């Protein structure tokens, strides 16, 4: 036993020291990704706190605030049109209990006159534009604006249509694949491997595991974006569970796991851009940028632009 410890302890100590050394200097092992763009201000659902979510009016409003990234979700209509919509079922957005896939594009109902802002409970957005928009229309209107396109379900037709539109508008480098599911992401990457992509949920947990066991500095990272909720918003503006107790527990655990400056700095040095969502208050903007994040996704682009301009002027 003593001889085993004689060899094991120095080996373990050397591994720990090497891991810490390379965590701080990842470029000794890895060539960093060269970013095509740097998204400091991302507009969640096009800026859903200031105008009705995912409408052209919301996107235009965000662009007046110099948004660097438009975050959106896509669905497919019955006649094969890719539309920008967070929900497949239209009840919350329009009051019509129909799925997007059960209607042709011209049959899609208008949005409600007001919609509650999901990450600011009790606050409502309004707007004069209540029409759902085609992804193609956004690509035409904002040809060089980076966008994150999330695919929620395993709809291969939708995935291939998005990939085709991205190629047609020559924007593979500035359009990000996003999905919570690794099975969906695999299909997305196969449909257009030129597009950068985010960590999925399972890949995010794998990243954290590698970080805590010290293996992260030795492992290649194919993702170019780590988009993650900021733990400090749980039980304030984000309620992932119906139980307050579970939300409180997850707030404590996720804060301990994720809010590590050494992890964020390591990813950034490897060219993996870290973006926290969905932050709507100045204290959360401050927390995210203090950790070293590249950017923030918000429902209120005007508030985030005001924060960024003030801090850049003071720097």
Q: Which domains does the chain have, with CATH numbers?
A: 29-310 (3.20.20.190)
Which pLDDT does position 260 carry in this prediction? 95
- State the pLDDT at residue 27: 96
pTM: 0.94
H-assigned helices in 181-260:
182-191, 201-213, 244-258
303 phi/psi in degrees, rounded to 5:
-65, -40
DSSP state letters, 195-213: S-BB--HHHHHHHHHHHHH
Q: What is the pLDDT of residue 5?
A: 59
Residue-wise pLDDT tens digits, 18-74 = 999 999 999 999 999 999 999 999 999 999 999 999 999 999 999 999 999 999 999
User: Within 13 Å of residue 135, how many CA atoms lie on the same side as its CB?
Assistant: 33
The confidence score (pLDDT) of residue 6 equals: 61
What pLDDT, on a 0 to 100 scale, did the predictor assign at position 4? 62
pLDDT at 237: 86
Per-residue pLDDT, 310: 93
Q: Which ranges of the chain have pLDDT less than 70?
A: 1-9, 314-315
Res 312: pLDDT? 80
* pLDDT of res. 236: 87
Find the DSSP H helices in the chain.
Answer: 2-24, 56-64, 91-94, 135-141, 156-168, 182-191, 201-213, 244-258, 261-269, 282-291, 301-314
């Amino acid at each position: 036993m003593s001889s085993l410890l004689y060899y094991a302890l120095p080996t373990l100590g050397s591994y720990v020291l090497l891991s810490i050394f390379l965590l701080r200097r990842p470029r000794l092992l890895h060539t960093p990704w060269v970013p095509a763009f740097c998204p400091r201000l991302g507009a969640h659902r096009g800026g859903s706190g200031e105008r009705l979510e995912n409408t052209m009016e919301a996107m235009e409003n965000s662009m007046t605030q110099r948004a660097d990234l438009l975050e959106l979700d896509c669905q497919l209509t019955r006649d094969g049109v890719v539309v920008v919509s967070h929900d497949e079922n239209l009840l919350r957005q329009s009051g019509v209990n129909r799925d997007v896939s059960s209607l042709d594009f011209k049959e899609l109902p208008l949005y409600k006159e007001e919609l509650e802002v999901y990450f600011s409970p009790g606050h409502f957005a309004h707007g004069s534009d209540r029409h759902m928009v085609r992804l193609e229309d956004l690509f035409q209107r904002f040809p060089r604006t980076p966008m994150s396109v999330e695919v929620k379900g395993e709809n291969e037709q939708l995935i291939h249509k998005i990939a085709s539109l991205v190629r047609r508008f020559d924007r593979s480098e500035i359009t990000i694949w996003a999905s919570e599911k690794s099975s969906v992401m695999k299909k997305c990457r196969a449909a257009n491997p030129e597009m950068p992509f985010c960590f999925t949920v399972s890949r995010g947990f794998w990243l954290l595991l590698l970080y805590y066991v010290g293996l992260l500095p030795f492992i290649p990272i194919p993702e170019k974006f780590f988009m993650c909720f900021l733990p400090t918003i749980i039980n304030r503006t984000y309620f992932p569970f119906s139980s307050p107790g579970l939300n409180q527990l997850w707030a404590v655990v996720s804060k301990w796991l994720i809010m590590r400056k050494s992890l964020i700095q390591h990813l950034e040095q490897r060219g993996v851009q870290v973006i926290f969502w969905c932050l709507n208050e100045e204290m959360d903007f401050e927390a995210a940028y203090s950790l070293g994040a590249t950017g923030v996704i918000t429902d209120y682009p005007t508030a985030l632009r005001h924060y960024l301009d003030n801090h850049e002027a003071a720097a």
